[in-house]
Amino acid sequence: MMTVEEQIFQNSIQQPNHIALIAGDEQVTYAQLWERCLLAATNVRQKFNLQKGDRVILAAAANIDFIYAYFGIHLAGGVCVPIDPDTNETRFGHIFTSTQPVCVMGTLHKVECTTVPFNELLTECNETLPFVQPDPEQLGDMLFTTGTTGVPKGVALNIKNLAAAALNINTFIKNTEEDIELLALPVSHSFGLGRVRCVLTKGGTLVLLGTFANIKKFFSEMERCHVTGFGMVPASWGYIKKMSGKYIGKFADQLKYIEIGSSFMPIEDKKLLCELLPNTRINMHYGLTEASRSAFMEFHSEYDRLDTAGKASPKVEVAIFDANGKKLGVNEEGEVCVKGDHVTCSYWNETPERFAKDFFDGYFRTGDCGYLDADGYIHLKSRIKEMINVGGKKVSPMEVEDILNTIPGIEDSACIAIPDPEGVLGEVVKAFIVCKDNELTDAEIINQLRPKLEVYKLPVAIERISEIPKTASGKVQRLKLKK
């Protein structure tokens, strides 16, 4: 398996004048991209004495200079630690203390810290480093997750993990050198960074937008650059739909593919996308930072399976295990576990013995509860630690939330376990809702839930809040709702 960097190198030889990057009026060919990545590698070695395995924190913004720095650090043998430019002091302090970086690059908006501009790695050198194939086992990225608990955890991904993930994704989505992809995802997270690697390994063109915030610019860039694909999380689609209605349908004959992140998306929205984009390959993935895009589904070809998380990605195995590490059969509920070269090689500052506990028979334990049906489709129930145990009966908060979100007037919801006020059932369900209809009463909500849920799944308490806490990738942080 070729590394991501070697594939970009090959593209610089085979199609040197093909456009790799577009940012506004600036265009960068593959030959220029490769030359500047080598220059960045040389400068990070010479200016910061970076040695193999040294960490560099990157305040990751979707601009061209960041991309040079990112691949240049890999080429120099360093480890990239991408963080959000808006990272707060507490989180930054944890990451900085944990990784002990040789430098911090980019611009931080909420932290007082000495940083190095990305373009400092582009100053001319007398002689740039020659290309040396990175060691597949060398660490490439370290991504600190927020997760559902809010505690940062360093997920270490080696060069082989990154290449394997890109191969799996490109195989399913069918990316080619003819693709022109608009990137409006944050590159401080697995999804956005993955799209950068996927496009550039296949020799496609990446159009750097930044965010979906400016819908007018999003659509104008789609038209100006004749974009053929993009990635988004379900929350982004909700924003696009809110701000522009069905306007995306105008690009039905232009868009070849879309990749959608793995947080909750109403089936109605999935069907609407199919209706608006009948010829577009609409792909939704399931995965986590530790095991990027472990499963996929395509909306049109799997239209009757839109309620599932899809099937195992190419070169990935998915299995269900019980709490004792026994592999379960079809329709038996347990922990979803995945195996493949894309799976994280370690957690930062964690012993191999502790890391080994995150596996069952070579399969990484995702922490998600679900089952596989006879056709291999994954049916997710909830995070294992978020399941609600009502008198010995397990309730998935996702099941209750999915129905709550269909009630007119409820914009969003999240459910957690609370102690049974009667002291009989152990735990019961509490629902938090974001409600735009102030006249919608608790009794009316329960009356609408009653025909669709068993009695023990009905919330015994409902609290209205202004916003459901979520990670940057859109995953609900239910544990933050526990007081």
DSSP state of 287: E
Domain boundary among 327, 361, 378: 378
Does the pLDDT at position 21 exceed 80?
Answer: yes
> Residue 9: what are its φ and ψ, rounded to 5°?
-60, -45
Parent domain of 408: 387-481
**270 and 124 together in one domain:** yes
Q: How far apart are the first and last CA of the chain?
A: 48
**147 and 273 together in one domain:** yes
Does the pLDDT at position 422 exceed 90?
Answer: no
Instruction: Report residue 147's pLDDT band, with 50, 70 and 90 as the boundaries.
Output: low
Does the pLDDT at position 115 exceed 70?
Answer: yes
**289 and 424 together in one domain:** no
Strand partners, 336: 320
Instruction: Report how far residue 262's alpha carbon sits from residue 232's, in angstroms, rounded to the nearest whole number.
Output: 10
What does the CA dihedral 54, 55, 60, 63 come to, rounded to 10 degrees?
-10
Domain boundary among 378, 402, 428: 378
Instruction: Report residue 151's pLDDT band, with 50, 70 and 90 as the boundaries.
Output: low
Instruction: Report how far residue 11's alpha carbon sits from residue 7's, in angstroms, rounded to the nearest whole number.
Output: 6
Instruction: Report how far residue 153's alpha carbon sits from residue 144's, in angstroms, rounded to the nearest whole number.
Output: 5
Q: Are 58 and 238 in contact (CB under 8 A)?
A: no
Strand partners, 372: 378
**307 and 400 together in one domain:** no
**362 and 406 together in one domain:** no
**369 and 393 together in one domain:** no
Domain boundary among 322, 355, 378: 378
Instruction: Report how far residue 348's alpha carbon sits from residue 355's, in angstroms, rounded to the nearest whole number.
Output: 10
Q: Is the dihedral of CA 400, 404, 405, 411 positive or negative?
A: negative
**91 and 234 together in one domain:** yes
**328 and 248 together in one domain:** yes
**259 and 188 together in one domain:** yes
pLDDT at 266: 84
The model's pLDDT over 289-299, given as tens digits with 9 standing for 90+, comes to: 999 999 999 99
The residue with tokens 């507490």 is 90
Tokens of 45: 């070695």
